[in-house]
Structures are given as C-alpha cells and as structure tokens.
A and B are shown apart, each in its own frame.
Chain A
C-alpha cells in the first residue's frame, strides 16, 4: 500500500501512531513492510491456505464474534445434506463435471432450495469485497470500499463447442452475464439453527472445511513459520470485537490468480466471523490502481455489464427479445433487498439510451441491445483477433502490449487487425509494435508484412477536460477543466461524441442515399444530442445529468432524480446508471462539492459524492447490534433512534430508514420490505453476510486452496492441483510449464511474481515518458535473494535472463535480502520479483523487457481475470539472446520440460502419473 498508494497510506501511518498494529503479508519485503509492525513473507499463490488457517484459528479457538455471526451472517443457515466437501472428493466439491470442468451447484444450496440461478457475481463482491478489479495496482484508503466487480462472461473450456456451451449453461448458472447484480436466491426464507450445532448448518460445514488448515499446514503450503502465523492470528482476533475492528486491505493483485475471487471470499469469511463488516475501521478494502477503474466498472466499459451492474443480455439465458425475461433473471420479486426493482433500473437506462423511441409497447427498445453468446472478454477477443474475426480495435488509455498477460499474443493479435485506433497521452508500445516490438526483433514479424492501419490520436489530460473519476471508495469527484488541450489532443468524450455523430449522419443518409437500414435504428434512435462548446467539446455535465436521470413526466418533469428509489419501470424516469442516481440530487452536481475536510466531520460527507446515496461505508447497519445500539461507544457509526423511529448516525444509514430493529417481515414479502430489522446485508437475497456462498460462484461455495496454474510444488491438501474450473486455453501459442512433481517441473524451478513500483504507473504510459519519474526507476530489474544470486551466479547491477514456458526476458539484477527463500513442503522455494512497468519500444525515456511477456493466459472462471501474480521460471546470469536465438532458447526449454498442449491444461488433476487425454483441442 505504501508502494502503490502512498497518500492513502497516510491513514495507515496515522492509525499506527494511534496504536494500531500493521501487518504486511507479501512475498516481498516492500516499502509497506518497512514501516509495518510485522512482515510475513508468503509464497505467491498460497493465500487461501493462509486465510483458511486464520479461519480455522478463529473457529477452533472460539474467537468469533458470536452475536454478530449468529445475527448477521448465514452461519446458522442449514444447507442441503447432499453437499460434499473437497476432502471427500479429493479436491473438488460435489457437483463437479470433469468433462466440462464445471460445477452443477444444486448441492451447494440452502436446504429446501433448488438452484434458481447462480450468478458469477455475488452480492458480496459487488458491494463489498469485490472480485474483479483486474488492475494490478491497488487503490486507496477507505472505510469499506465495495467496488463493483465485473464478473461474468461465458466460459471457454477448450474450443468454442456451441453445443457443450449450451448444454452446460443451466448447470453452470448464468455467471457469464449476470454480471454484478447479485445472485438470485428466489426468496429470503431459510432454515436456521441459531445454536450453530446442526451438522449441516453453514457454521459446522465451515468448521469442518477449514479444520485441516492448521498452522503446520500453513507452514507447509505458504512457507510461513507457525510462530509468525499465530502472531498474525492473535493480532487479528485481539483487534476485533465490540471495541475494536480490523481492516483487511488488498491490492488488486489478489485478483490476479486462477482463484482470485476466492481469495477475496477468504478475507470476507474472516471479516464476517470477526464482526468487521459494515463497521468503522473494518471492511475489506480493495486498493485500485487507476483513477476511475471503479467508475469503469460501475459505468462499465466491460462486455458483460450494462451500467449499474445490470447484465448484458445473453441469448441463452435471457431469451433474445423479452424485457420481462431479462428482468426476471436478475432478481426474484420474493427475495430481499433492492435488486427487486431491477425493472425500474433497466427501463430508466433504456429511456436514457433511446429516449422517446423507448416505449412500453416496444419493450423500451430492449431489443436494440446486442446479445452475448459466450465469453467476449479481452483475452478471448485477442484470440479472436488471431483468428481474424476482429477487424478493428480501439485502445483507450490502455497499453496491452505491456500491461496484459502474454504480451507476445497481444502484439501478434494486433498485427492481424485491419485497423487500430490508439488514444493515449504518449506514443505507447501498443501504438508502435509494428515498428519496434519484440517480434520485429526476433523476426517473427516484419513491418512490411503487417497490414494493420494505425491511427494514433493524442488524448487530453485530466486538466484539459471536465468530468468525474470514481475513486476506490466509490467516491465521485469532479475535475474541472483548467486549460484547452494542445494540438490535436482531444478528450474521449469529444472523440466518441463526434464519432457517433458522424456515424449517425452517414447512416441517416444510408448507402447511396437509400435511407437507413433496420440494424441502424439503435444508432439513429439513440439520444445523442449533448451540447458542445465552441471547441466542439461536449458537456460532461450534461452527460452526468443523463447518468443521474430525470423525471420525464409529472410535475417534476425535467428535474433530476434524487435517488434510485424514484426510478419507475413505466418509462416515466430515465437514468443512465441507477447506482449513480443522486449525484445530481437537487439539481446540483454533487460530485463538485468541495467543502474542506477540516470543516466537516471525519466521515466528510460533503466532499464529492459516493454511490449509492452518498453512503461512505456500506452495510453500516451492521455497525449497530441487533437491537440497533452501537456495538460500543468507541465504534458507534450508525444506530437506531428509538424516539424518532429512524436510523441515524455519522453516515447515511445503509438500511430502510424506518425499518425498526425488531421488524420482521411476513413470509413471502420481498424487496426492501422483506428485510428484517436485523438483516444488514441489504443486497443479499437473505439479508445476511455469506460465510458460505450457496450461489453466485462457479468454483466453490467456500475458498479452498489450489496451487497456481504453474507451481513448483504439489498441492499439500489433496490430489487436485489447481482450480478445477479455471479457464484454460490449450493452444500452441499458450503453453504452460509442468508443476509440482510432474516431470520437467524442475526446468522452471523458481516462482516469479509481478508488481508495481511507487515511481511508475501500470504499463508506463503515464510515467515512463516523464523525466522526473523515469530517473527514479530508470531500468527494468529483477529482485532476487542473495541465495538465489549465489545459486545462479547473479551479480547486483548485472543482468539476468528470466525464462518461462512462453519466452525469455532480461533484466538488471538487484540482489536483496528483501527477497526471502521459503521452506515449502520440505524444499526451498526461491521467488523472483519483477516490476511490470517496462516494455520494448523506442519512444519512452526508459524501456526494457516486459514482465508480462512471461505469462500465459489462464483465467479465473468467475471473472475471466488472468493469473499474473505467479508462475514459474528459470533464471540465468547474463543477457538473453536476441533474434532467432531467443526463440531457440525458449524452444529448448520447452523441449527439456516436455511441454505439450496437455501440460497444465487438464482441469481435473489426473490420478497418478497416467497421462490423460487433452481437454479441448
């Protein structure tokens, strides 16, 4: 956090000065570790074992916050008795289909329930722990962040086998497209045993599941000595309860694993057991690494989402033409909470998009929305480029040649395009790959043979345009335009507005003046009439008003909505993103509010505007006890005012204001009125925090340890080596190295991990061109321990070549005791650290090989995020070969390791050493 979010880290230092204990768990000793009370070196990719160990410690020592757990979580909820845990199935949960590598989640359900719909994005993620910020960076301080996640999307399980996709669709649940709107529970009535004794209640299942995660097991898997581990457990437990809270902060590298979502679930289980959710000083805080990465998931530039975590319609799941069908899949009217108004949110969006053309009799133009049929995520799209089905590509402040996994695949894919538009502040490597990319140097590509037409359009910087960023704590902050952009630089608002305008003008004329085609109606009917200034710049303020939404009829017609609760499903309101409704409450751009922090309370509610409803800490009903009183005076945040019969406090209460703590809904009542007075998790179908996720996840109801796609060690818990549902791409251009005890694994004996440095920003587009930042970290380097340096003859300041199953890169060497060899499973595991900011090009002030080139593409099944925080490699002293020799070196390694298409790509680990058939092609 000190590394990548130094300014957010001021609050950690502040807390430390007031007596907080700061623990840093990281493979490397970083600038955060330097000021932490304790640094725990952990093997990259073993976090679930560590988190599970803490869960086991909490449960086996009865250290959980019992009153909170019983009242606010699903600990007491009874599960079906045919659920079978991983220990009895050698590493998979019940319902696993080894053919498709997917689960039928029916047996995971609450008792008396059948699977209605499993969504990849469960509410916990949307509102709280977030599952899928793919950004490596991290992001911010905050109370409870709750960034939305961009889950979903169809799976790719080896080849686009349409029928298989179709057949397994129902069983898998609609994770693909349900996006972040939350799992549909059907209704909120569940069986509970509040003594927590029933063997089938969540609490007992959890206890059994984590019983094997002993300190000794943690040591074996993570390389963390028991005394260090227990010190962490004690600190976490001692600093939780009525009087104290513990916060977990992760940088979104946690999502860069084939089990990324489950990492965050692991932290969620701990926080719920200890009563740290919805309370000040608690929560799980995702530190996100881009100025508006939160905003770009809320108002998504993501394939599977519409604004406000509404799903993009998918043919198989939503039918192709019925708004009612679509809405029904999002939430059942009987379930608890605010998702039951999804129809109002959807219709308001459609009215914002298509205005007067959207009418009840045409389903508000619902049919205009293009439909998904599977995974159209960025990696799938890149592979589609290689298959020449994608012709054009817009890169908007993103540098995939450096920042995405498997850089070679990214660049080769771009060489297949017909046209490429790059909009950036600097001439990034993704814009120049055709003349100076690594493949030009190896001879794999020749500039003269690349048919891609490239447009580089310089972008306006943040001070050259108006607009809002949504930061990591869901806070929208307006940035005012200070100056006009120079030269040809323009905002993306300008570019897309005028691109849309010009397209509409052309289409309105039609080919040869023959008039528009039916397929052009969505474009022509689009509301696209934003006011522009004298430079042709559209008004960002007008766009924000549209996002907020307005009343379209009635006496308030034309006035901005003040809350999403005002949205109607009858077409009388519009609103481009329901969760952002309120940012223009009272006709005022609330994101511009800048009442100085020193002039308001510590919650600072009058600075900017947080979605939803300017609420700074989510689920804050949980900061009070079931009777509505603060758990302690010290931790008072939101409470029930019995006299005024309303919820009140320092923040906007995250609860229906007039629902008294003792309110109990009649059976069958859904929506907000279905929430009991002690159901703080208002976006969950049952109002409770989920220790166990009966629905919503594709890879298991509880986090369980799996090794990464590439690992030097075997899974210490069971035969199943890696996540049995991970998304693999067995292609010749995407090989994986052998793991554990497989033959050839010793060819890549070391673990490497990637990260950011304080001095640079992601793929470098905003830092490697700046002299003041480049001089601070002027070259790509690797960090190795003295022991590894000795083993491989590396010299501080010299060069090393790092070889993975995909390629080899070179880096300057920093020999440092901050890298610690770990004892894992009876052997020493060396880890190599690689910052990923550098790329091969000729325009930046500092260039170098790209760490992301070392990775292949293997994804988390829930959110399609790649595993770029851990893989295996070899390290050699000296610089890498160049030209064709580089390819030969890599081929030699592949040969020595015996890599085939099957290597690493069998989702279910085969029994014994018997090779089993390849999955996929």
Chain B
C-alpha cells in the first residue's frame, strides 16, 4: 500500500505508531476476562472511558461507528427528545448520544405541593410547565445552572457479560482484548442475548434496516477488526473532544479516577464514575463512564447485575422443581386403581 503524499511513510507505519507502546503488552492479570476465556498471552484488556463532562453531543461517534461497521440508517423520525433523534442503542445503533435538558431548581421549594397532576400523554413539557419556567418571568439570572447533559452510550463489554453467557451458539465470544463480540457468521438469531443484557444494548436486526445481517444480534464490537491491527476504534478516533477515550482498561480506570478527583476539586460534586468498579454487578464494565447525574438520568440501570450471577441458584431451583414433578407424577400413579 502506498501513501500519496510527499515524505509520509506508508500507512502501515502509521498503524504501528497508533499502538502507543509498540508491541502489544500482555496482560498479567489472572482475573483478566480474556485469560479466563482461554486466551493465553492475551494483550491487556481494551475498553472505553467516556467522560461525559466534556461531551459536546456532536454525534461524530454515531456516524464514525456506522461508517466503519456498515451499520444501516435506522429511521428518519424526529423524536422530540431534545437533540436526540436516535433514541437508544440497538441493532443498528451501536453508539448513541443522549441529551438531557435539566432546568435549574426553582427558587421556591416544595414544587410538587399543589401543582396540578401531570397526566400521561399530555402535551409537551412546555405546555404545563409554564408556571414553573424560570425564564418566563424571571429572566436568565435565576437559571444559571440550567444544564444540558450529553453522553455517548455504547456496549459496556462487561467483565461478566450476560449476553455472552447465555448465547447458545458461541456466536458471542470474549476476544483476546477482553471485549465481547458477535460473530455474524455464527449467530442464528435466537434472540436470547437481547433480554439478557442488563443495559439493553444488544438487539436483533429487523428487516426494515436490512438487508445486512437481518435476524442477527448486533452490537458494538469495540471495532474488533481495528484492534486486531492496532487501530483505535472508529468512535474514539473521531471524538472531537476526547470524551470517548480508548485504551487499556486498567489505565483508563486510573485516568477516570484522576479526572473524577479533578472535578471534585473543582466543586463538581455531582460527578461520579459508572461502571468502573470491578466489584459491581457485572464485574466492572470494559466501557465505563464519568457521569454528572444519576445513571438512570442517562438511561443507564442504576445497579446492573449480570443475570447469570443467579444462574446456579436457578438451576438448583429448577432441579428441585423437576424432581418435584417427577415425584408428583410418580405419586399420581400410586393409590387405588379404578
């Protein structure tokens, strides 16, 4: 391959340069998910740290992802949810930028007392918020802490990944990078991974988005093909403000902790990390976040747990139930015969 320009080496060299530390460093962590999945000598686990405090909601990640992975366009609907017309992650959306508009707290307390009840399906937020619109009567002075939060969501590539656990074909697999990837040539579209995911990430592609990979479970691959050749995933490479950071999970966790400390020092008390804790319900996510509000504000589950954590108990219960049925059936043949 040649590079058409003066004096710049071919892109292979560029690729090598893209791997910051030259040859991939092998993981030494015995609990590394890749090692536990049979990858001897796996490189260090790769992941994303998404710092939503510097996200500008440009959606470059969404487009770069679709471009690289050939993910189809999935609908031209205006959703009326701020600048989010994507809605959420799904089979044909592997990156999703959430937009949350938060009015400042009104000066007066106890807003729910005496307020008219809010009805499902009534008009837009504006229609019945007028009495409480800070700007309506008071000007901008009292709403200085109006916030517009933005956050780019993605597959979490969990340490304990329910989708991977429940996949009956081995289509979903743990890669040597510790990520979780669907093998399009294997998946038979059983759909089990869909309800298994505690974050609602993976989804089976429907025909309207076709024809590529219709009926097959689809989600972020953390650009497995790019990682194979030492490249940064498309979304992280495109991200203009480095809100999406790619790297070794271990290092990213340190970076995230440092960033959190900085924000706390700056008085941003509401900053918190989400998904970075190896002791959480999914064993820590490979893609974790710095948030400025509760996880559910962004559409995240506040305390996700990999469903298979309870699987041994489930099997036990089912075993007892099966024996009960066997015993019951046997018992039903006891007694007097008519």
Contact = CB atoms under 8 A, between A and B. Distances in A.
Interface residues of B, number: 57
Nearest to A7: B240
Interface string B46-63: 000000011111111011
B141 A787 contact: no
Given A34-B150, A594-B6, A772-B66, A796 B125 contact: yes
B212 to A, nearest CB: 13
A822 interface: yes
Given A775-B73, A775-B75, A814-B82, A594 B7 contact: yes
A35 B73 CA distance: 29
B180 to A, nearest CB: 25
B148 A759 contact: no
Contacts of A757: 83
Given A34-B148, A776-B59, A817-B103, A795 B127 contact: yes
Contacts of A225: 139-141
A821 B57 contact: no
Contacts of A776: 59, 62-63, 85-86
Contact of B126 (A17, A224, A773, A790): A790
B77 interface: yes
A480 B7 contact: no
Interface string B134-157: 111101110110111110000000
A480 B4 contact: yes
Contacts of B125: 786, 796, 815
Interface in A560-575: none
A40 B105 CA distance: 18
Interface in A763-796: 771-779, 781, 784-787, 789-790, 794-796
Contacts of A593: 6-7
B141 A480 contact: no
A41 B143 CA distance: 11
B215 to A, nearest CB: 21
Nearest to A820: B135
A553 interface: no
B242 interface: yes
Given A13-B54, A31-B148, A795 B67 contact: no
A789 B78 CA distance: 18
Contacts of A2: 56-58
Contacts of A781: 78
B121 to A, nearest CB: 11
Contact residues of B: prevailing secondary structure: loop
A123 B54 CA distance: 38
A322 interface: no
B130 A786 contact: yes
A758 B59 CA distance: 8
Residue of A40, A593, A772, A778 ringed by the most chain B CB atoms within 10 A: A772
A357 B73 CA distance: 57
B129 A786 contact: yes
A25 to B, nearest CB: 12
A790 to B, nearest CB: 4
B141 A228 contact: yes
B260 to A, nearest CB: 14
Nearest to B63: A772
Contact of B240 (A10, A786, A798): A10
B80 interface: yes
Interface residues of A, number: 66
A823 interface: yes
Nearest to A759: B59
A584 to B, nearest CB: 13
Contacts of B143: 817, 820
B1 interface: no
A837 to B, nearest CB: 13
Contacts of B242: 10, 13
B141 A789 contact: no
Contacts of B134: 817
A778 B57 contact: no
A349 interface: no
B76 interface: yes
B240 A592 contact: no
B74 interface: yes
Contacts of A819: 135
A13 B140 contact: no
Interface in B183-218: none
B311 interface: no
Contacts of B60: 6
15 contacts: A31-B56, A31-B58, A31-B83, A34-B148, A40-B140, A771-B72, A775-B76, A779-B78, A789-B124, A789-B126, A796-B127, A813-B124, A815-B127, A816-B126, A845-B76
Given A9-B56, A31-B56, A813-B124, 20 more contacts: A13-B241, A31-B150, A34-B147, A35-B55, A225-B141, A480-B4, A480-B5, A772-B62, A775-B75, A775-B85, A775-B86, A787-B133, A789-B127, A790-B126, A796-B80, A796-B127, A815-B127, A817-B103, A818-B148, A820-B140
Q: Which 6 A-B pairs have the closest CB atoms?
A: A796-B124, A815-B126, A797-B80, A789-B126, A771-B73, A787-B136
